[in-house]
A and B are shown apart, each in its own frame.
Chain A
Amino acid sequence: MGERIIELRDIKKSYGQVYALGGVNLSVDRGEVVGLIGDNGAGKSTLIKILSGVVKPTSGEILVRGKPVSGWSAARSRDAGIETVFQDRALAVQQTIVRNIFMGRELTGFMGWLKVNKEVAEASRLMREIGFTSKVFTPQSIVGQLSGGERQGVAIARAIYKQAELIILDEPTTALSLTETAKVFHFVRQVRASGRSILFIGHNIHHVFDIADRFVVLDRGKVALTADRTEVKSAEDLINFMEDVAHPDGLPGLHEAGEAEQRA
């Protein structure tokens, strides 16, 4: 893989006496899809918030393209080319795709008047780049008319604007049907094909397994496993591993695939 976009070294975060993260190492290379898996309370959201600069780590080192940075913040994170698509997607559903993509950074000319044509052209370029093409919708379509997966596409298109190099997708396929999930995967593959990196967070192992080049399993604030795509034979392997981590003493029957899937 190419250049290392970001690297976290021994990141710790504590809220009072409670450790949310107890020394996490994580790195993302250019053009790579990293799947971050973890149960509720494993520290996924804290880790995302640290990456996007919303939360400051208690200790640890953050390296952007190999260089350590000090004074990590939301602005620094954005400068480093990191964009986060939050779980609730943060779209204004009664507005057009264009208005959502340029929300808060409208392309304006003289005295704040909108450059509508330029915005539409830019929006269609972004949508094409992530493979969101349609005979039915235009950049001027209302987001509320789109399905869940397509809305995720709008959020991703918004994130890759401004030369983002790493897109953090926080549970992008939660509450989506299989077809909609396929659409999101399609967008994600297009983003990777354009040379950007993606950190794909999910708790559905099957979803993450299909899309990621590398898996990072988080458990109770620590990285329990880092594995390349080639090292893991199947999603069941990962599930079994997570079961082992969650219940080291072993509980009877838990390793049967059916039950494990239910839990996942």
Chain B
Amino acid sequence: MSKAMEPDLQSPLGRAGGKAAKEWSHPSDNWLRGFVLDNRASLGTLAVFIVMMAVFMLANPTVFTTWYLYSSVLTTLPVALFVVVPLVFVVTCGEIDLSFPATMGFASWVFALVVQAGYDPFLGIAAALVTGTLLGFLVGSLVVYGGLSSLIATLGMNFLLRGLIQIINEGKSTALTNLADSAAYKIFSSQVWGIPVQIFWAIAFVVFSALLFNRHRFGAQVKVVGDNPDSAKQMGIDVKLVRVKVFVFTGIGAAIAGTFSVMINFTWWPTAGDGYLLPVLASVFVGGTPTWGGIGTVVGGAIGAVTVSFIQTGVVAAGLSGFYVQFFNGLIIILSLLGHKWNQARYR
């Protein structure tokens, strides 16, 4: 690599003129090549997804051409997307957050309480968002200012918060029958032209977050902190604050996810969110965000979430028994990781 670049050692000391200006050109002016190089990880994830779907379709063409299958995936996928995307930020920042399932449960519990008390669901959503923000701040502060390992501390917080929910509710669920008539339900959880409306909100969230990741100071600082925290600190970045912020972002995402899951089912369960822990984590890494921090891909993570949600549906729909689901889950995860390893070099 280094041989390719030789600074113009013969040039006189004077300012380099127009000649030098032209030398900053891309190796090839082909935009497609640049696009592929810049988006290797997410394109790889997309390839995995397309191959997987092709295999499913070949196995059972009739089921995979019916809309119902996609409709059901599109209802549950958004819930996952709202936590996968913030987790990409967390992992890129060099941390991990395993407490989001409990945050989902906690924030949606607050939502359920507000709605059950007869208030407008919009107020419930606002309350859930505040809860998610506070819990994210609590978890983040514990990890960052407490100087704890995020892996263990967030695992502990997950148990602790879930335990609190269980203690107070004694395992009882809350049915929200009046939710279906509310304006909030129509906006966030109905169907448009047969398409579950959640997916539009989720796509908007993914697009916004991708911009935040690539085109905003927050994303830039998250990447730098995950890459070289000492350097970031030296250059005046408040490393601890950036770290807390990614946990707050996850808390907000988890609150939205939890609220959406309650609105789908009209019921809040004390276990709400629990089932998302492993699929969501898998989505982040299947999506092409490496474990070591500094780089990541929001769009890749979203495609990873789509892939993971289709595995379960696909395996069953392809005519295999449910016993195969876990096997294929594992297979896809391992194959994706191998693919990403081959696809991206780690710079040190």
Contacts and interface: CB of A to CB of B under 8 A. Distances in A.
Asked if A pairs with B, the answer is: yes
Interface of A: 86, 88, 90-95, 99, 102-106, 108, 112-114, 116, 124, 127-129, 131-139, 142-150, 153, 180, 182-183, 186-187, 189-190, 192-194
Contact of B9 (A105, A129, A143, A186): A186
B194 interface: no
B220 A106 contact: yes
Contact of A133 (B24, B234, B346): B24
B294 A128 contact: no
Given A128-B21, A133-B23, A90 B227 contact: no
Contact of B347 (A90, A94, A139, A150): A94
Interface stretch (B11-19, B45-53, B147-155): B11-19
A93 B348 contact: yes
A145 B15 CA distance: 26
B24 A127 contact: yes
A37 to B, nearest CB: 24
Given A93-B347, A112-B216, A135 B227 contact: no
A12 B17 CA distance: 45
Interface in B113-154: none
A146 B2 contact: yes
Interface in B148-167: none
B228 A90 contact: yes
A103 B237 contact: yes
A134 B223 contact: no
A131 B220 contact: no
B5 A91 contact: no
7 contacts: A90-B231, A91-B231, A95-B227, A103-B235, A124-B24, A189-B13, A193-B13
A180 B26 CA distance: 23
B306 interface: no
A160 B213 CA distance: 27
A194 to B, nearest CB: 8
Interface of B: 1-2, 4-5, 7-9, 11, 13-16, 20-21, 23-27, 211, 215-218, 220-221, 223-224, 227-228, 230-232, 234-237, 294-295, 345-348
Closest 7 CB pairs of A and B: A144-B347, A147-B2, A104-B235, A92-B227, A90-B231, A94-B294, A193-B13
B225 to A, nearest CB: 9
Nearest to B10: A186
Nearest to A143: B347
Contacts of A135: 4-5, 23, 25, 27
A150 B2 CA distance: 8
B215 A116 contact: yes
Contacts of B27: 135-136
Contacts of A144: 345, 347-348
A112 B217 contact: yes
A137 B232 contact: no
Nearest to A120: B24
Contacts of A134: 4-5, 7, 23-24
Nearest to A93: B347
Nearest to B1: A145
B24 A186 contact: no
A106 B217 contact: yes
Nearest to B294: A94
B232 to A, nearest CB: 7
A90 B220 contact: no
B223 A95 contact: yes
Contacts of A190: 13
B2 A133 contact: no
Looking at A132, A139, A146, the one whose CB has the most chain B CB atoms below 10 A away is A132
Nearest to A108: B217
A103 B225 CA distance: 10
Contacts of B13: 189-190, 192-193
Nearest to B3: A147
Given A133-B20, A134-B7, 7 more contacts: A94-B295, A128-B20, A145-B347, A147-B2, A150-B2, A187-B7, A193-B15
A177 to B, nearest CB: 9
B149 to A, nearest CB: 22
A175 to B, nearest CB: 14
Nearest to A183: B7
Contact of A91 (B15, B223, B228, B346): B228
A86 B234 CA distance: 10
B215 A114 contact: yes
Given A90-B235, A92-B223, A127-B24, A142 B216 contact: no
Contact of A131 (B8, B221, B294): B8
B26 A138 contact: yes
Given A104-B236, A112-B218, A147 B231 contact: no
B216 to A, nearest CB: 5
A180 B348 CA distance: 18
Contacts of A180: 2
B221 to A, nearest CB: 8
B5 A146 contact: yes
A139 B232 contact: no
A95 to B, nearest CB: 6
B232 A103 contact: yes
Contacts of A142: 347
A231 B16 CA distance: 32
